[in-house]
């Protein structure tokens, strides 16, 4: 039987067959026809770093190609593609890395040459949660056959085959050598020929996102993609499957994590990508959240799209660190799942210790089939079973903890739970709004972490006075500050506004937490800013560090680039540096970078004391860098002129960015009018805010990390911004001020990368 089958396969072998055995380069050879096809990949061009080849990996039948989920595909012109009308078979080994949401109901295509709208051609690919399908244009109608009950597993090899035969009038699907679905088609009717390209890894009619990006892309490994102009029999399909596994003892090889994980290496040379800020390996992140300390390790999660550098199919990425500085990548912690509370997204939340003292994650569970589609979900660590301090295994509670009801905030806007335990009570704050009254945070309490009781609005501001706070608040955080000078317990309450007219920053109030009423009572009605960098310090999360008692804030540093630049770069956004906030003796909020950042210091480039501006600039003329820590203290002066520091300055000053303090207006700001000569970058203009030094000399603490600039002034405010100079030699520094300005101290260190 095997010999007969082998002969049949030889007589009617594939008309196209990409084995992906090249192992390197940007071409994939179709061994059946001898043609060589281009492998598209965004990082091939090396726009901001060294060019990178598409990623080749070991496969089942030799080599495999790793598709990155947004920019990797293979194209063949229609006139060179096989003509498939009366019959076809498509065979492939695939190992998905992630699942797309399925924009416009279209497949993440494995192989396709189709036009669904006019019912032409064929499409074979994957859909939401690993379901998969063959779709054909036959007789002016679009026909689909699905395998929903046996989805393709992430990170594991599956052999999938789809067949069609005009004579038999049947479509069939096979998984790992066994038929799993069949469906009849119109009698004696061929596939309508499509004049489009044949594409592997990309949909012919992909949904456009933000101009540069396309949905409906395959993410993961492919090996041995074959196309036949006939329908293989069940025996032939089984033979192809078994023959591939013989070298592996009849079992599909296990894929090492290193072969399929998101890989940092191609981005390490990107001259704009920060090197000592926490970031995902590649692709998209927004806010980091749910910080928690457990068994000697800090855990921090983040909103992440593993499919590409754009917002969609949001997962929880995961980092771990011993010091909140040197972060290590861990596998994705939470992903959208079919049959769970979060089929459409795992959005922001927080972490707390459960009744056993083990971390639990509270998250916004996205379910578009429900109204509202935002609910509170829970995932518990399996630490007690696994004894894994990396906390890589989480089990979701089967039902939502809280479903918003009419009358509880602004219906439909209900996200970002912040949870903590005080005594025997768990408290939960969640972002929402109050219809007609602006943004709000809602409060809930529980005695067992599962059953929650609504306690009403935690705090509502006056939208007529503060319209910049929008009509919805996200990412609430409440942290204890200790006692003030009057021996009263104080807390800081942070929110991020959203909605029409909202200024998307991190605003806070200092005040008192009324535990009995579950209300916040502010000391000041007007909200304050932690950071004055305008949209670059957002998405707050926070924790009390059990090791030191400090309040630590984590944020996202927005990239501020165009979709095309994100596409070409392969990444979007990173975390800001961890910040310690505290109650100062004068009652104001103190803001400082955490002292653990000193562990990143390399060579000291400058150390001056009590020098003139002229002498300091003479020394600075020899100092260059884009990964630096800079500390400056400037003498008090009666002059009202601006003083400050130019960074990322080119030799002839075509490009430069000014961090300044305006004494007359008590203003901390950054002038980015000359930051870059590139017309594509969006980094322009002045960003600033008020800071009253109360007669103190100016103390600036500045961190440069490629495109990141963070400045801290006198422990009172921070300023976070971005700079993308077009010139690689924009690395200079220069102080600005009047000739009488005295420099009390100036210290500069190189900073080490945390990436590898």
pLDDT digits (tens, 9 = 90+) for 147-178: 999 999 999 999 999 999 999 999 999 999 99
Question: Is residue 9 over pLDDT 90?
Answer: no
Query: Under CATH, which number does the domain 599-751 receive?
Result: 2.60.120.560
Residues near 658 by Cβ (< 8 Å), separated by ≥ 6?
644, 645, 646, 647, 670, 671, 736
The CA-based angle 44-103-202, given to 5 degrees, is: 35
* 278-576 CATH fold: Tachylectin-2; Chain A (2.115.10)
Question: Is residue 221 over pLDDT 90?
Answer: yes
**What are 61-83's pLDDT values in tens digits?**
999 999 999 999 999 999 999 99
Q: Which pLDDT score is estimated for 325?
A: 98
Instruction: Return d(Cα 333, Cα 359) in angstroms, integer.
Output: 13
Mean pLDDT of the chain: 96
User: pTM, whole model, 2 decimals?
Assistant: 0.96
Instruction: Return d(Cα 754, Cα 50) in angstroms, integer.
Output: 19
604: alpha, beta or left, given left = phi > 0 and alpha = psi -120 to 50?
A: beta
Lowest mean pLDDT, pick from 231-240, 466-475, 734-743: 734-743
| Per-residue confidence band for 640, with pLDDT thresholds at 50, 70 and 90 | confident
Instruction: Return d(Cα 171, Cα 169) in angstroms, integer.
Output: 7
Contacts 24+ apart (CB under 8 A), 313-318: 313/98, 313/99, 313/100, 313/101, 313/345, 314/345, 314/346, 314/347, 314/366, 315/98, 315/346, 316/290, 316/346, 316/361, 316/363, 317/280, 317/285, 318/391, 318/392
Question: Is residue 593 over pLDDT 80?
Answer: yes
Q: Which pLDDT score is estimated for 11?
A: 56
Q: Which pLDDT score is estimated for 641?
A: 84
User: 3-class DSSP state for residue 627?
Assistant: strand
Q: For a pLDDT cut of 70, what percent of the chain falls above it?
A: 99
Mean pLDDT (whole number) for 632-660: 93
The CA-based angle 375-378-379, given to 5 degrees, is: 140
Instruction: Return d(Cα 191, Cα 122) in angstroms, integer.
Output: 8
Instruction: Return d(Cα 87, Cα 80) in angstroms, integer.
Output: 18
- Contact between residue 103 and residue 173 where contact means Cβ atoms under 8 Å apart: no
The count of C-alpha atoms lying within 13 angstroms of the C-alpha of 4, restricted to the half-sphere facing its C-beta, is: 3
Instruction: Return d(Cα 612, Cα 556) in angstroms, integer.
Output: 38
For residue 195, count other CB atoms closer than 10 A to its CB: 11
Residues near 477 by Cβ (< 8 Å), separated by ≥ 6?
418, 492, 493, 494, 495, 540, 541, 542, 553
Q: Which residue has the higher pLDDT, 10 or 184?
A: 184
**What are 295-338's pLDDT values in tens digits?**
999 999 999 999 999 999 999 999 999 999 999 999 999 999 99
Domain 2-260: top CATH class:
mainly beta
**What are 520-532's pLDDT values in tens digits?**
999 999 999 999 9
Question: Is residue 739 over pLDDT 90?
Answer: no
Q: Which pLDDT score is estimated for 410?
A: 93
Q: What residue spans define the domains of the chain? A: 2-260, 278-576, 599-751
Structure tokens at 498: 């959203």
Residue 43 has phi, psi (to 5 degrees) of -80, 0
**What are 204-214's pLDDT values in tens digits?**
999 999 889 99
Residue 462 has phi, psi (to 5 degrees) of -95, 105
Question: Is residue 1 over pLDDT 70?
Answer: no
Intrachain domains 2-260 and 278-576 with the same fold: no
Mean pLDDT (whole number) for 75-99: 97
Stated as kind and residue range, the H or E segment containing 618 is helix 613-620
Question: Is residue 638 over pLDDT 80?
Answer: no
| Per-residue confidence band for 266, with pLDDT thresholds at 50, 70 and 90 | very high
**What are 425-463's pLDDT values in tens digits?**
999 999 999 877 799 999 999 999 999 999 999 999 999
């Amino acid at each position: 039987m095997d010999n007969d089958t082998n002969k049949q396969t030889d007589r009617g072998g594939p008309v196209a067959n990409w084995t992906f055995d090249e192992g390197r380069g940007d071409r994939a050879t179709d061994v059946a026809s001898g043609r060589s096809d281009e492998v598209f990949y965004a990082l091939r061009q090396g726009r901001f770093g060294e060019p990178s080849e598409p990623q080749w990996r070991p496969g089942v039948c030799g080599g495999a190609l790793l598709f990155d989920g947004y920019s990797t595909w293979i194209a063949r012109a229609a006139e060179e593609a096989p003509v498939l009308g009366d019959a076809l078979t498509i065979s492939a080994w695939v190992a998905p890395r992630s699942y797309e949401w399925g924009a416009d109901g279209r497949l993440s295509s494995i192989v396709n040459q189709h036009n669904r709208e006019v019912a032409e051609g064929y499409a074979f690919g994957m859909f939401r949660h690993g379901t998969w399908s063959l779709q054909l244009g036959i007789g002016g109608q679009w026909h689909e056959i699905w395998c929903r009950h046996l989805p393709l597993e992430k990170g594991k090899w599956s052999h999938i085959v789809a067949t069609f035969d005009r004579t038999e009038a049947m479509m069939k699907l096979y998984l790992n050598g066994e038929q799993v679905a069949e469906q009849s088609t119109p009698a004696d009717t061929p596939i309508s020929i499509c004049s489009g390209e044949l594409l592997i890894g990309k949909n012919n009619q992909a949904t456009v996102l933000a101009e540069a990006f396309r949905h409906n892309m395959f993410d993961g490994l492919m090996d041995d993609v074959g196309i036949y102009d006939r329908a293989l029999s069940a025996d032939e399909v089984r033979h192809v499957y078994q023959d591939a596994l013989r070298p592996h003892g009849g079992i599909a090889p296990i894929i090492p994590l290193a072969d399929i994980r998101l890989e940092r290496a191609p981005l390490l040379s990107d001259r704009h990508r920060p090197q000592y800020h926490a970031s995902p390996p590649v692709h998209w992140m927004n806010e980091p959240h749910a910080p928690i300390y457990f068994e000697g390790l800090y855990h921090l999660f983040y909103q992440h799209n593993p499919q590409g550098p754009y917002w969609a199919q949001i997962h929880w990425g995961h980092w771990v660190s011993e010091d909140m500085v040197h972060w290590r990548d861990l596998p994705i912690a939470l992903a959208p799942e079919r049959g769970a509370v979060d089929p459409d997204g795992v959005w922001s939340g927080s972490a707390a210790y459960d009744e056993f003292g083990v971390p639990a994650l509270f998250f916004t569970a996205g379910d578009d089939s429900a109204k509202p589609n935002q609910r509170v979900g829970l995932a518990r660590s399996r630490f007690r079973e696994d004894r894994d301090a990396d906390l890589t295994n989480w089990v979701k509670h089967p039902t939502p903890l809280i479903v918003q009801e009419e009358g509880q905030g602004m219906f439909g806007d209900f996200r970002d739970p912040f949870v903590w335990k005080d005594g025997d009570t768990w408290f939960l704050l969640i972002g929402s709004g109050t219809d007609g009254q602006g943004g709000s945070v809602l409060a809930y309490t529980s005695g067992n972490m599962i059953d929650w009781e609504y306690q009403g609005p935690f705090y509502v501001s006056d939208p007529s006075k503060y319209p910049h706070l929008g009509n919805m608040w996200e990412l609430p955080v409440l942290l204890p500050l200790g006692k003030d000078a009057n021996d009263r317990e104080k807390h800081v309450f942070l929110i991020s506004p959203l909605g029409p007219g909202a200024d998307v920053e991190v605003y806070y109030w200092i005040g008192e937490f009324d535990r009995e009423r579950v209300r916040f009572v502010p000391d000041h009605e007007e909200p304050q800013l932690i950071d004055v960098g305008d949209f670059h310090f957002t998405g707050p999360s926070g924790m009390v560090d059990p090791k030191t008692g400090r309040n630590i804030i984590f944020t996202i540093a927005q990239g501020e680039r165009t979709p095309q630049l994100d596409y070409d770069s392969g990444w979007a956004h990173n975390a800001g540096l961890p910040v310690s906030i505290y109650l100062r003796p004068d009652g104001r909020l103190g803001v400082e970078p955490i002292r653990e950042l000193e562990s990143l210091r390399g060579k000291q480039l400058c150390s001056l004391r009590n020098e003139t501006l002229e002498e300091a600039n003479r020394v600075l003329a020899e100092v260059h860098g884009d990964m630096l820590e800079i500390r400056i203290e400037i003498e008090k002066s009666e002059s009202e002129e601006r003083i400050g520091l130019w960074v990322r300055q080119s030799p002839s000053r075509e490009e430069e960015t000014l961090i300044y303090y305006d004494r007359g207006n008590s203003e901390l700001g950054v002038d980015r009018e000359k930051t870059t000569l590139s017309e594509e970058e969006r980094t322009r203009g002045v960003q600033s805010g008020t800071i009253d030094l109360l007669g103190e000399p100016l103390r600036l603490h500045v961190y440069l990390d490629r495109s990141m600039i963070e400045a801290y002034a006198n422990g009172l405010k921070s300023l976070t911004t971005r700079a993308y100079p077009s010139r690689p030699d924009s690395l200079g520094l220069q102080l600005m001020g009047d000739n009488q300005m005295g420099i009390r101290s100036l210290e500069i260190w190189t900073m080490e990368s945390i990436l590898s």
